[in-house]
């Protein structure tokens, strides 16, 4: 069989398996805490992430963290270097990454069963997917845990488009917790666009993964946000990238007082009200300059941290990253 034939066969096998697992998805609340307005009974929330070694599409770190709720303090973490040998195919990301996340959940159940999370937040989509079965659904079904898909970008499926009308709806989101439904061309509500933080100009796209309703998924996602990205996902991302740096010997954050300023200006961020258009940042050597979207909104994109946020609530150690006046 030639290469093309093998690819077609692999895709057909993946489609059949995806359809089989999709039939097992539960899109309603299954636990009493999910139906409680304050999530009484919820004590542990988990987050997962797969971070790649820069310039390498195979070597990565799979991480699982568990946080206490509502305190959002990390009580467990598992990071492991993995080799993702399965090829990336659009719409089948789960087949490439989920096996390693399932392994992390299995290790947790064996080592610390009392710390198994009652729900997992996944950096990706659930039913908001080309075939209604994204990575959050896949992980939820295989682990039998409630899962929520939390994506930072809109997956344009079933007629959903990041067009002018969609952007106008985003503009009308005023405060953290505001949201609007993502209704596909078929009339199906695939998820919700959620403004997770007062200072964030970009929404999160929340969708059901498994064993939870969309309403509860949106409320819990909001309840887990100290910054734009929910804390379980943010901590999994931060710790996986730190593990890669420590494992591969890449320099990490410098000690206080040893940071690098790109212009040598006097630096501080407290008490400022507007970002000068040419304002550099005081950065550790292993970080590049972030991309600022607006001098008024204090919003940035940080590729190394895989996040977007606002200076109103910085997700960094202020000793390492400050604004130059």
HEC assignment per residue over 96-127: HHHHHHHHHHHHHHHHCHHHCCCEEEECCCCC
The answer, as to whether pTM is greater than 0.75, is yes
The answer to whether residue 118 is domain-embedded is: yes
Task: Please give the pLDDT value at position 304.
Answer: 41
Task: Please give the pLDDT value at position 45.
Answer: 98
The answer to whether residue 257 is domain-embedded is: no
Region of poorest pLDDT, from 50-59, 157-166, 177-186, 208-217: 50-59
Cα-based distances in Å from 151 to 15, 164, 206, 286, 320: 23, 20, 6, 26, 27
pLDDT bucket at 91, cuts 50 / 70 / 90: confident
Task: Please give the pLDDT value at position 88.
Answer: 80
In which region does residue 298 sit, left (phi positive, over 0), alpha (psi from -120 to 50) or beta (all else)?
left
Region of poorest pLDDT, from 118-132, 157-171, 192-206, 294-308: 294-308
Mean pLDDT of 165-179: 96
The answer to whether residue 131 is domain-embedded is: yes
Helix spans in the chain (H) = 3-22, 93-111, 135-143, 164-171, 214-223, 231-248
pLDDT bucket at 262, cuts 50 / 70 / 90: very low
Mean pLDDT of 165-182: 97
pLDDT single digits (tens) 112-134: 999 999 999 999 999 999 999 99
pLDDT single digits (tens) 205-249: 999 999 999 999 999 999 999 999 999 999 999 999 999 999 988
Instruction: Flag whether pLDDT at 18 surpasses 50.
Output: yes
The answer to whether residue 299 is domain-embedded is: no
What is the distance between the alpha carbons of residues 162 and 155, in angstroms, rounded to a whole number? Answer: 9
Region of poorest pLDDT, from 48-62, 265-279, 299-313: 265-279
The answer to whether residue 20 is domain-embedded is: no
pLDDT bucket at 267, cuts 50 / 70 / 90: very low
Task: Please give the pLDDT value at position 2.
Answer: 65
The answer to whether residue 120 is domain-embedded is: yes
Q: What percent of the chain has pLDDT over 70?
A: 75
Instruction: State both tokens at 136.
Output: 């959050």
Domain count for the chain, please give it.
Answer: 1
What is the distance between the alpha carbons of residues 58 and 100, in angstroms, rounded to a whole number? Answer: 13
What is the distance between the alpha carbons of residues 287 and 164, in angstroms, rounded to a whole number? Answer: 33
Instruction: Flag whether pLDDT at 256 surpasses 80.
Output: no
Q: What percent of the chain has pLDDT over 90?
A: 66
Instruction: Flag whether pLDDT at 93 surpasses 50.
Output: yes
pLDDT bucket at 8, cuts 50 / 70 / 90: confident
The answer to whether residue 217 is domain-embedded is: yes
* Residue 223 · residue 206 · CB < 8 Å: no
Task: Please give the pLDDT value at position 251.
Answer: 58
What is the distance between the alpha carbons of residues 32 and 41, in angstroms, rounded to a whole number? Answer: 8
What is the distance between the alpha carbons of residues 173 and 150, in angstroms, rounded to a whole number? Answer: 18
The domain of 227 spans 26-248
Query: Comparing 261 with 288, which gets the higher pLDDT?
Result: 288
Q: Which CATH number fits the domain that encloses residue 189? A: 3.30.2170.10
Handedness of CA 224, 227, 230, 233 (dihedral sign): negative
What is the distance between the alpha carbons of residues 242 and 44, in angstroms, rounded to a whole number? Answer: 23
What is the distance between the alpha carbons of residues 181 and 193, in angstroms, rounded to a whole number? Answer: 6
The answer to whether residue 302 is domain-embedded is: no
């Amino acid at each position: 069989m030639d290469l093309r034939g093998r690819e077609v066969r692999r895709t057909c096998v993946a489609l059949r398996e995806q359809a089989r697992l999709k039939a097992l998805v539960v899109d309603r609340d299954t636990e009493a805490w999910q139906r409680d307005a304050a999530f009484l009974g919820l004590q542990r929330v988990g987050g997962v992430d797969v971070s790649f070694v820069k310039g390498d599409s195979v070597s990565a770190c799979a991480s699982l963290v568990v946080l206490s709720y509502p305190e959002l303090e990390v009580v467990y973490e598992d990071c492991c270097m993995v080799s993702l040998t399965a090829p990336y195919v659009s719409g089948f990301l789960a087949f490439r990454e989920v096996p390693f996340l399932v392994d992390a959940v299995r290790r947790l159940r064996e080592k610390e069963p009392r710390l198994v999370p009652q729900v997992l937040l996944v950096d990706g989509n659930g039913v908001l997917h080309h075939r209604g079965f994204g990575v959050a659904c896949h992980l939820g079904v295989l682990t039998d845990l409630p899962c929520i898909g939390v994506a930072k970008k809109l997956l344009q499926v079933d007629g959903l488009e990041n067009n002018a009308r969609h952007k106008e709806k985003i503009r009308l989101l005023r405060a953290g917790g505001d949201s609007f439904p993502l209704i596909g061309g078929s009339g199906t509500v695939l998820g919700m666009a959620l403004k997770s933080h007062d200072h964030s100009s970009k929404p999160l796209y929340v969708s059901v993964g498994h064993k939870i309703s969309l309403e509860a998924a949106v409320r819990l996602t909001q309840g887990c946000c100290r910054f734009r990205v929910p804390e379980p996902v943010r901590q999994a991302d931060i710790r996986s990238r730190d593990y890669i740096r420590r494992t591969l010997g890449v320099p990490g954050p410098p000690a206080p007082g040893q940071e690098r300023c790109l212009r040598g200006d006097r630096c501080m961020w407290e008490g400022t009200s507007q970002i000068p258009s040419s304002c550099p940042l005081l950065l550790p050597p292993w970080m590049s300059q972030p991309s600022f979207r607006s001098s008024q909104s204090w919003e940035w994109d940080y590729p190394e941290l895989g996040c977007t946020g606002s200076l109103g609530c910085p997700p960094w150690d202020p000793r390492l990253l400050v604004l130059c006046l």
